[in-house]
Amino acid sequence: MKKSLKKIGNANPVMTQRFGADPYAMVYEDRVYLYMTGDDFIYDETGEIKENNYSNIYTINVISSSDLVNWTDHGSVYAASEKGAASWGTNSWAPAAACREIDGKMKFFLYFANGGNGIAVLSSDSPTGPFTDPIQKPLVSRETPGCASVTWLFDPAVLVDGEEAYLYFGGGVPSPEQAANPGTARVAKLGKDMISLDGEPKTIENVSYLFEDSGINKINGKYIYSYCSNFSVPWEKKEELGFECGEIVTMEADEPMGPFKQGKGILKNPEAFFGVGGNNHHCMFEFHKQWYMAYHSRILEREMGVLKGYRSTNIDRVTISEDGTITPIQGTEKGVAQVGTLNPYERQMASTMAVMAGIRTAPYGENSVRYGSGDMIVTGISTGSWIGIYGASFGSEGAQEIQFEIRGKQQGKILVYMDIPEGKAVAEIEAAADSEEEFGTVAARLAATVTGTHDIFFVFEGEGYELKSWKFC
């Protein structure tokens, strides 16, 4: 078996088939959708990996989960550049997402930074796309009132609060002398259409040692603005301030546009937990009455032996005390506990996984290929590749058969294991596809009825075939 880039049993990072930075979560119909900056390796003329300077990023990676450990890969939104929806833009950094019913129909919105010089907005009828640009220009630019002098006009966050919605953005330190109070955070009311501004942006006052990374949540009736502190926080003042360099810090207000009162640090720089740090970027979200923190770290590239600043997303639990304050969050590789179980009797996309090694995902279908996101298939299979799924509940009656949707030009085998990817397989399927273009169903009886709750592992032999979905019967 090929070596995974995360330990079996761990939930972090949430995705290892590619990078995903600056995570933003949207909960819709009992699923969490994560949108992430599409970090991608930059190479020099000799083929060596260069330090990540974010210049080649024009995609937004999308995954979703109903249990926070098994994530379905929905691909990469072509957000900016000539191929992207916002073809006028050059980069797509730090996405934010929201949904809202408009004219009787649910619409989905992606906000992202065009480098450090403005905010774009895309819209879709689905949380996974296709996303298009409804205004064909920046939503926020340096021509927007009050924004010309914002050092970094980026890192949006969005809050839908009843009938109103708000956009938060900005960051950067204009000069060393202004490090303690840069004055570069902004908030603006969004129009009812979510693709326009309703009034001029306002400065969020007295954001102590602001660096970047807007966050916004409504918790227990209070508006919690959060951000990453800059790297000029004096060491001797960390106790007085309640935070240090590169830490996620909170502020609180009674109204969505402030005024905000300074709070404390809640998530230290990832270096404190994983030994490698850098910029710190986060979002908080509530799912099944529990709050969570999504943030990025460099543990995926650490396992790859790269250490060039390429980021991946983690999720850990948030604890809110009785007085409403958020207790310091611990970054872990173990991650969060599974919320519920996965149903193996429902057809699951093969791109749904908790852990894997030696596979890739690719867009499937006309829209996904054109726009980058949507349905995905598992490809790049070779002997020793595998996929793991956590916590599938087979119930008391149990499963007796497994089915796969397969296509390809060569033959191989899929070995199905329960709990650990070795020992005696419960099924062995001949991955003999009838077509290179169309997916067909192959099935196999299980060696014994499977009951109860188990982790599932698919271990592959051979190559030249691809998977679309699977289900137990």
List active site positions.
Answer: 22, 212
Helices (H), 199-296: 238-241, 271-274
CA torsion angle 348 351 357 360 (round to 10): 150
In the three-class reduction of DSSP (H, G, I as helix; E, B as strand; rest coil), residue 13 is classed as coil
Phi, psi at 168, each rounded to 5° = -115, 140
C-alpha dist (Å) from residue 23 to 12, 39, 95, 314, 347: 13, 12, 7, 9, 27
In the three-class reduction of DSSP (H, G, I as helix; E, B as strand; rest coil), residue 155 is classed as coil
What six digits make up the tokens of 329? 């969050």
Compute the distance between CA of residue 167 and CA of residue 161 in angstroms, rounded to an integer: 11
Handedness of CA 244, 247, 253, 257 (dihedral sign): positive
CA terminus-to-terminus distance, the chain: 27
What six digits make up the tokens of 69? 């450990």
361 CB neighbour count, 10 Å cutoff: 25
C-alpha dist (Å) from residue 178 to 43, 208, 211, 228: 36, 10, 11, 16
Compute the distance between CA of residue 219 and CA of residue 322 in angstroms, rounded to an integer: 12
